Amino acid sequence: MLLQERERVLKTLEHLEEKTSQNFRGRGKDTFGIPSDLAELGRENFEKDLELNLTSSESLLFAEIDEALTKIDRKDYGKCEDCGCFIPIARLKALPFAKFCLTCQEKREKKRLY
Q: What is the pLDDT of residue 106?
A: 96
pLDDT class of 46 with cuts at 50, 70, 90 = confident
In the structure, what pLDDT confidence band is assigned to residue 53 with cuts at 50, 70 and 90?
confident
What percentage of the chain has pLDDT greater than the value 90? 61
Q: Between 39 and 7, whose confidence is greater?
A: 7
Q: Can you name the residues that pair with 87 across neighbouring β-strands? A: none
Please say whether the beta carbons of 103 and 83 come within 8 A. yes
C-alpha dihedral sign at 13, 14, 18, 19: negative
How confident is the model over 55-111, as pLDDT tens digits? 899 999 999 999 999 999 999 999 999 999 999 999 999 999 999 999 999 999 999
Integer distance in angstroms from the first to the last C-alpha of the chain? Answer: 34
- Give, as one character, the DSSP assignment of residue 47: H
Calpha distance 68→2 (Å, rounded): 8
